Amino acid sequence: MESSAASLQRKHNDYVSAFANAISSLSTLKSQDEVLAQVPALLCKDFAALRSELWLWDELSGSGYLTHTAGADAQHRRDYITPGSGPLGRVAESCQAAHNVSIVAAGGESSDFVLRAQLTHMSIFPLMAGGKLVAISANYSNEPVSDEILSWWHAYGEIAGFAVQRALAAEESQKQIQQLSLLFEATRLLNSTLDLAELLELILRIARTEVKADRGTVFLVDKEKRELWSIVAQGLDRQEIRIPFGRGVAGHVAQSGEMLNVSDAYELPFFDRSFDQRFGYRTKSLLCLPIHHRSGEIVGVLQLLNQTTEGNFTKKDQDFLDKLSGHMAMALENARLHREALEKQRMERDLAVARQIQRSLLPERPPAIPGFEIAVANEPCWECGGDYYDFLALGPQTMLLVVADVEGKGVGSALVMSNLQATLRALAMHLHSL
């Protein structure tokens, strides 16, 4: 029969071997999800934990999120923690381990958690890397565990902290590469068209796809009227929207130049609920940002509603759209210049036609009258104008010479001139004297 000392030595040797295997396993795994899943799995498999949980710590939000579990099945009332809240929150705040904590006595968890999983105690370890908290490991048991197991859990936590940090860093690098690739592809798409309506739809599609928004609108700035306008809003079937500066969220952003990111739009005092009421919609999370030209001028506003995967728009969503904003503005400016160029070309064609028509209304040459020399010259200041001259024969021995100048220039004056000519010729045929 194996002695107690021999049994302890064998368990010790098992833990030493398991620890060596854990170092090898966590250092060779490359996938982030594999590394994170392995941290609690090995604690249950080789280090006597009945249940183990990994809570990743997010510095930006100042909270931890339950991401991976192993062992006994159990469920928390919340899958996130904040500093100082419950045993996990207190470890996150102090970055000090807590051993053999009674789950019921500690509070923050219902007795159902204990009864369902038959777990009574938990030991919590902060996983640190480079002096920063990267995750929290929570190990559960049905009785207080020995100091030896606690020492192995503590040692395991030290290597797990570096493994988690390495996995997260690799994932972050990959995300940055992916984001740069997305920015490049988005820029390429934005430069693929000069049609304004198509470009607005493209901007909205890129933004909604990348940040997982349910709906959105792209507004353009009308500087003269101090309004925002748009014909591209998901769910509105190209109905034109016009919003004065300062009204609603988009109008507020256009006026202030500030980005807004809120979890509940109804908490904003300037949020206009009439659109929700009109279209039977409920806006919750909202991200609205100005689109800046490189000169700093606001040329548009992008508004996105209801993040579909996480519920709220993140700092990463903001950063991505902020980086894309400059490319959006440049594409919109190119589309505007192209539209103005097309409009100018159309006006020049119309003016050329108007000038040709006006020229055709003027006499080709002066009449030949014995004893008189008559010459004329006409050169409008613009493409066409209101100058008018004419020669009307009132009788065999009578010629009426007309010289007139309609006030103003351009097409309007040319139209008045053509009406004058028609009216004057119609009247002159029925006049007996001037």
Residue-wise pLDDT tens digits, 201-228: 777 787 888 888 888 888 888 888 888 8
CATH number for region 11-174: 3.30.450.40
- Strands 298-307, 241-244: pairing is unpaired
User: In the predicted model, is pLDDT for residue 108 greater than 60?
Assistant: no
Between 288 and 28, the more confident residue is: 288
User: In the predicted model, is pLDDT for residue 429 greater than 60?
Assistant: yes
Q: Retrieve residue 326's tokens.
A: 């400059």
- Strands 121-129, 98-102: pairing is antiparallel
How high is the mean pLDDT of the chain?
80
> What does the pLDDT look like over 333-369, one tens digit per residue?
777 777 778 888 887 787 777 777 777 778 888 888 8
The whole-number pLDDT of residue 192 equals: 64
Distance CA 247, CA 228 (A): 10
How much is the pTM?
Answer: 0.45
The whole-number pLDDT of residue 135 equals: 93
User: In the predicted model, is pLDDT for residue 180 greater than 60?
Assistant: no
> What does the pLDDT look like over 126-138, one tens digit per residue?
998 888 899 999 9
Q: Which residues of 286-313 are buried (b: 16+ CB within 10 A; e: fewer)?
A: bbbbbbbbeeeebbbbbbbbbbeeeebb
Altogether, the residues listed in the chain come to a count of: 434
- CATH 3.30.450.40 maps onto the chain at 11-174, 191-339
The whole-number pLDDT of residue 114 equals: 56
CA distance between the termini of the chain:
143
The whole-number pLDDT of residue 1 equals: 47
CATH architecture of 191-339: 2-Layer Sandwich (3.30)
Helices 147-190 and 4-28 pack at an angle, to 10 degrees, of 10
User: In the predicted model, is pLDDT for residue 252 greater than 70?
Assistant: yes
410: alpha, beta or left? (left if phi > 0; alpha if psi -120 to 50): left
User: In the predicted model, is pLDDT for residue 141 greater than 60?
Assistant: yes
User: In the predicted model, is pLDDT for residue 98 greater than 70?
Assistant: yes
Q: Are 103 and 121 spatial neighbours (Cβ–Cβ below 8 Å)?
A: yes
User: In the predicted model, is pLDDT for residue 117 greater than 80?
Assistant: no
Among 333, 302, 301, smallest CA distance to 215 is for 302
Distance CA 251, CA 255 (A): 6
Half-sphere exposure of 5 (CA within 13 A, CB side): 0
